[in-house]
């Protein structure tokens, strides 16, 4: 039985749906919970015959899905055009526009929603075959969705879900992955404010809520040129402790539709490995009671709404 040893690699495509060659340069992210799911449409041939027996089904259009959870880590060195977070291609293919600020001594890379110009990926899981090679499970023309989640004392994670055109599973060479020797920043000693109030919480998340649709193309073996993001709706939740209404009126802000800024961090012990999140218009959409270790708390659901457009949040590596 093979040991589950898996490397993930991805590269932005020069032409949508045309496979790029993946090398060790395109590895380097740390992931858990990786899953590969092919989805091939089967076409029954329900024709009239002088028997109850059936003709064999045909295979139609073919897509695949890759899902995984990745640690969010900086680079540990000044950011530049060629030195961006390892997650850069994945974030960009989930509809996040990348901006690199090379101001000396304050270099950073920020991401916020893009509604156009979203690149596609060639990406693959390379599963160790136990003999020095790999079983290569590849997608092309892939785009996806990402959900961010974190808990007090833990890392910030990006939970990705990609859809792409199916490529035949083949045996191939295994890549030698290269990882940065950097510890992920943790949610400790940092700001988490909602409408200016520092909330005591145990966990939070928000999901870009991307909708994806296939681009049919009969010239492609899979029947798809790729997949595109057609919509998005960023929403999430957190679990603050219960406090007096005079301290922070979670229910009142929900009822009155009051918008307030969400500020997380920046957190992390060292420059070039810090992460911050800023959202101008958090709108509460639901508040319910819950408990944390016999302590009264709330589950607050929220929407991150636009300011002028494509700016409902900014994720910054600094």
* Structural domain that includes position 19: 6-42+58-317
Residue in the structure block whose two tokens are 């960009």: 92
Would you say residue 119 lies in a domain? yes
Is residue 95 a part of any domain in this protein?
yes
Question: Can you tell me the distance from the alpha carbon of 143 to that of 274, in angstroms, rounded to the nearest whole number?
Answer: 26
| Strands of the chain, DSSP E | 6-12, 31-43, 58-71, 96-101, 108-113, 121-128, 133-151, 156-166, 170-173, 192-194, 197-198, 201-207, 211-216, 224-231, 235-240, 259-267, 275-292, 295-305, 314-317
Place of tokens 């270790």: 293
Burial class (CB in 10 A: 0-12, 13-18, 19+), 66: buried
- pLDDT value at position 2? 57
Please report whether residue 49 resides in a domain. no
Tokens encoding 290: 């819950």
User: From first to last of its 318 residues, what are the pLDDT tens digits of the chain?
Assistant: 455 689 999 999 999 999 999 999 999 999 998 999 999 999 999 999 999 999 999 999 999 999 999 999 999 999 999 999 999 999 999 999 999 999 999 999 999 999 999 999 999 999 999 898 999 999 999 999 999 999 999 999 999 999 999 999 999 999 999 899 999 999 999 999 999 999 999 999 999 999 999 999 999 999 999 999 999 999 999 999 999 999 999 999 999 999 999 999 999 999 999 999 999 999 999 999 999 888 999 999 999 999 999 999 999 999
How many domains does one find in the chain?
1
Residue 1 located in a structural domain: no
**Distances 127 to 2, 6, 33, 165 between C-alpha atoms, Å:** 9, 5, 14, 19
On whether residue 167 sits in a domain, the answer given is: yes
Classified as helix, coil or strand, 86 is coil
DSSP letter assigned to residue 25: G
* pLDDT at position 3: 57
Per the CB < 8 A criterion, the answer to whether 146 and 163 are in contact is no
Nearest to 173 by CA among 205, 135, 116: 135
User: Does residue 53 fall inside a structural domain?
Assistant: no
Q: Are 262 and 236 in contact (CB under 8 A)?
A: no
Strands 121-128 and 295-305: unpaired
Asked, as a colleague might, if the bond just before 200 is cis with ω within 30 of 0, I would say no
Residue 118, burial from CB neighbour count under 10 angstroms (0-12, 13-18, 19+): middle
Q: How many CB atoms lie within 10 A of CB 248?
A: 18
Contact 78, 272 (CB under 8 A): yes
For residue 174, tell me if it sits in a domain: yes
pTM of the shown model = 0.96
């Amino acid at each position: 039985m093979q040991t589950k040893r898996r490397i993930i690699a991805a590269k932005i495509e020069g032409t949508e749906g045309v496979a790029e060659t993946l090398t060790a340069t395109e590895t380097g992210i740390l992931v858990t919970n990786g899953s590969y799911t092919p989805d091939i449409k089967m076409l029954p041939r329900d024709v009239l015959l002088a028997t109850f027996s059936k003709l064999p089904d045909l295979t139609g259009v073919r897509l695949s899905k890759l899902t995984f959870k990745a640690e969010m880590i900086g680079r540990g060195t000044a950011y530049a055009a060629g030195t961006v977070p390892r997650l850069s291609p994945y974030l960009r293919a989930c509809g996040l526009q990348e901006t690199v600020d090379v101001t000396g001594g304050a270099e950073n890379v920020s991401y916020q929603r893009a509604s156009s110009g979203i690149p596609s990926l060639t990406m693959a899981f390379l599963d160790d075959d136990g003999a020095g090679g790999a079983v290569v499970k590849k997608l092309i023309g892939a785009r996806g969705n990402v959900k961010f989640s974190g808990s007090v004392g833990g890392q910030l994670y990006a939970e990705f879900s990609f859809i792409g055109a199916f490529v035949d599973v083949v045996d191939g060479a295994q890549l030698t992955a290269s990882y940065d020797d950097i510890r992920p920043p943790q949610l400790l000693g940092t700001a988490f404010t909602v409408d200016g109030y520092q909330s005591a919480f145990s966990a939070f998340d928000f999901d870009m809520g991307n909708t994806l649709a296939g681009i049919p193309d009969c010239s492609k073996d899979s029947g798809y040129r790729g997949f595109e993001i057609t919509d998005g709706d960023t929403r999430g939740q957190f679990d603050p402790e219960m406090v007096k209404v005079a301290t922070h009126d979670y229910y009142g802000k929900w009822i009155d539709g009051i918008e307030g800024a969400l500020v997380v961090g920046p957190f992390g012990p060292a420059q070039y490995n810090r992460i911050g999140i800023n959202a101008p218009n958090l709108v509460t959409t639901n508040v319910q009671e819950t408990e944390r270790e016999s302590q009264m708390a709330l589950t607050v659901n929220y929407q991150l709404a636009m300011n002028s457009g494509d700016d409902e949040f900014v994720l910054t590596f600094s």
